[in-house]
Amino acid sequence: MHIVPPPLTSLLASLVMLIHAAGGSLAAQSHSPDYDDVDPWAGVQPPTQGPDSSAVAGFIRSLAATDPLVCQFVAHSIGNNWSHWEGGYESGRLNAEDTHEKARQALSRRITDHAALSHLARSLGHQHSCVRRVAARMLGQSEAAEAVRQLREALRHQHPRVREAAALGLAHAEDPATLHDLTRALRDREPAVVRMAVYALGQLKDARGVKPLGDLLRSNDPRTRAAAATALGEIEDTRATDRLTPLVRDGEPLVRLAAIEALGKIEDHRATTALGQALRDGDPAVRRAAATALGEIENPKSADALAQAISDPDVVVRRLAAQSLGELDDLARAPARLLAAIGDPDPELRVIAAMSLAEIADSTVVPALSKAYAGAEPRLRYAIVKALSETDDRRGDAVLSVAARDKENAIRDMAAETLEDRREDDDDDE
């Protein structure tokens, strides 16, 4: 039976609903089993099928005809595992929404129809980039073996924009069996295809990708070097550290930024020195990334460099440096500049510094914290009480007693709870 496609206006109206109904895709990560977790719906498939070729063709036509900005919104949000809004709203409740609800539900399901998959595969070469993106994403998230096969074949297509879109689709598929296809694509003559294959390898998070991606860090193309660095960060394998570290001094800020962010994700202590030097980079975005990465690595040897960065001319670098100091492992003493920051003119830095002092729990800062409590704004008073509570030094009890009568509930409750715990500890010692 021939199915008449819905009119273009109807499909366009559905696009707006699709944007708001999008949900995130599942990350390809392995976790320890949770034996307490049960699901009555496990293994049960919905009784209805995904969209057929007529619906998919109409949808693609609508995307091609709509405003490019709207198309990009759809391309960014689209997926085949859409769910209802987190706030509990279900589409179809607004007046006249129900007319498009069946079409939305059909397009929300994973596509398995052979003709629909073939239409998407042909759309990988569409002249509009956002249509190519949508086709790649819908194919990648189909979970049908045929969809992956078509993407692998398209990766060898004669036209570069088809190969680029195919690599994007394989990035969404996250199928380990495609690793060799993507590795082969790293030798493509078109840089755009290489970069998309690099991205896809990063999404696979397969350690076998470390060597070929590491080789691309020597590429003459800065965007390719940056893409390879980002992908290595996604894989999070410490074997990439030695390859990434020299890029912290790359001549291109884009590459330096990508390398620093990757090293932060890998969390290898060997990168500490290079990242500390990056805190003196001329680009504030690079210095911000370096401060964040050092906090992720948590090496106490970075304390001096981070403390100096509290005096950085960029306000965000100052705040990030103070925050990262609180994340370092086993830091015995709080740097003097961090303690001084609780009196900084920047109210956000004052609070961040006090919170980091709470994490460090250095008893030598108790007198300075106690002195700073008087006249402090509520957020800073809360952070100071938190720091005094974390520091097992009774010299802070006087301020905690004052804080137990604070007009702010959060401050009052924390101080009172800390004092009660300490009284109980004293009773146990007697």
**CA–CA gap between residue 27 and residue 55 (Å, rounded):** 28
State which residues of the chain have pLDDT below 70.
1-33, 45-48, 79-93, 428-430
pLDDT at 46: 60
The alpha-helical segments, DSSP class H, found in 186-302 are 191-204, 210-215, 222-235, 241-244, 253-266, 272-278, 284-297
pLDDT of residue 47: 59
The two structure tokens encoding residue 360? 């460090």
pLDDT given at position 190: 97
pLDDT in tens, 349-394: 999 999 999 999 999 999 999 999 999 999 999 999 999 999 989 9
Q: Say how far apart CA 142 and CA 117 lie, in whole Å.
A: 9
The per-residue pLDDT for 300 is: 97
83: left (phi over 0), alpha (psi -120 to 50) or beta: beta
pLDDT of residue 25: 41
Residue-wise pLDDT for 93-150, tens only, equals 677 777 777 777 777 788 999 999 999 999 999 999 999 999 999 999 998 999 999 9
State how far the Cα of 407 lies from the Cα of 364, in Å rounded to an integer: 28
CA distances from 285 to 180, 223, 241, 292, 314 (A): 35, 17, 21, 11, 9
The predicted pLDDT at position 114 comes to 95
CA atoms 166, 169, 170, 175: torsion sign: negative
Tell me, what's the pLDDT at 377? 96
pLDDT at position 182, please? 98
Q: Return d(Cα 76, Cα 137) in angstroms, integer.
A: 9
Model pLDDT, residue 90: 57
> Distance between alpha carbon 417 and the CA centroid of its chain, in Å?
36
Q: Residue 88 is inside which H or E element, if any?
A: none
pLDDT reported for residue 1 = 40
Q: Domains, the chain, ranges and CATH? A: 1-22+51-82+100-177 (no CATH), 339-430 (1.25.10.10)
* pLDDT for 50: 81
Q: Determine if the pTM surpasses 0.75.
A: yes
pLDDT at position 35, please?
77
pLDDT for the residue 80? 39
